[in-house]
Amino acid sequence: MVVTGASSGIGEASVREFVARGWNVVAVARRRERLEALARETGVMTIVCDVTNEAQVAAMAQQVRETGGATALANIAGGALGVDRVEDASNDDWRWMFEVNVLGLRSVTASLLPTLRESAREHGAGATIMNLTSTAGLAAYPGGGGYNAAKYAAHAVTEVLRLELAGEPIRVMELAPGLVHTEEFTLNRLRGDAEAAEKPYDNVESLTAGDVAQVLVDACEQPAHVNQDLIVLRPVAQSSVFHTHRGPLVVRGEDQA
Ligand SMILES: NC(=O)c1ccc[n+]([C@@H]2O[C@H](COP(=O)([O-])OP(=O)(O)OC[C@H]3O[C@@H](n4cnc5c(N)ncnc54)[C@H](OP(=O)(O)O)[C@@H]3O)[C@@H](O)[C@H]2O)c1
Q: What is the pLDDT of residues 239-252, one digit of tens each?
A: 999 999 999 999 99
Going from the C-alpha of 169 to that of each of 71, 121, 129, 185, the distances in angstroms are: 11, 9, 11, 34
pLDDT at 257 over 60: no
Q: Which domain holds residue 199?
A: 2-256
Average model confidence (pLDDT) for the chain? 97
Longest CA pairwise span in the chain (Å): 65
Amino acid at 249: L
Q: pLDDT digit string (tens) for 167-211? A: 999 999 999 999 999 999 999 999 999 999 999 999 999 999 999
Task: Specify the pLDDT at position 125.
Answer: 87
Question: In a 3-state reduction of DSSP, which class is residue 44?
Answer: coil
| pLDDT for position 103 | 98
Tell how far the Cα of 167 is from the centroid of ligand 1, in angstroms. 31
CA 174 to CA 215: how far, in whole Å?
11
Asked whether 75 lines ligand 1 (CB < 6 A), one says: no
For the segment 221-233, the average pLDDT, to the nearest whole number, is 97
Q: How far apart are CA 102 and CA 98, in angstroms?
A: 5
Closest C-alpha residue for ligand 1 atom 42: 5
Check if 145 has its Cβ closer than 6 Å to any atom of ligand 1. no
Catalytic residues: 147
| CA 124–ligand 1 middle distance (angstroms) | 32
Name residues whose C-beta falls within 8 Å of residue 176's C-beta, 6 or more positions apart in sequence. Answer: 133, 134, 135, 137, 138, 155, 230, 231, 232, 233
Mean pLDDT of 28-56: 98
CA-nearest residue, atom 16 of ligand 1: 9
Whole-number Å distance, alpha carbon 252 to ligand 1 midpoint, is 37
Q: Is the CB of 188 under 6 A from ligand 1?
A: yes
How many distinct structural domains can be found in the chain? 1
What pLDDT score does 216 carry?
99
C-alpha to C-alpha distances, 65 to 111, 113, 118, 230, nearest whole angstrom: 10, 11, 9, 28
In the structure, what pLDDT confidence band is assigned to residue 237 with cuts at 50, 70 and 90? very high
Tell me the C-alpha distance between 254 and 257, whole Å.
5
> Is ligand 1 within 6 A of the CB of residue 82?
no
- Comparing CA positions, the residue from 111, 119, 122, 131 lying closest to residue 61 is 111
Average pLDDT over residues 109-136: 96
Contacts by 154-162, CB closer than 8 A, 24 or more apart: 154/78, 154/101, 154/102, 154/105, 157/102, 157/105, 157/106, 157/131, 158/131, 158/133, 161/109, 161/129, 162/227, 162/229
Percent of the chain surpassing pLDDT 70: 98
**Averaged over 13-33, what is the pLDDT?**
98
198: CATH: 3.40.50.720
Q: What is the pLDDT of residues 67-113, one digit of tens each?
A: 999 999 999 999 999 999 999 999 999 999 999 999 999 999 999 99
Cβ(9) – ligand 1 distance below 6 Å: yes
Kindly indicate the confidence band of residue 13, based on its pLDDT and cuts at 50, 70 and 90: very high
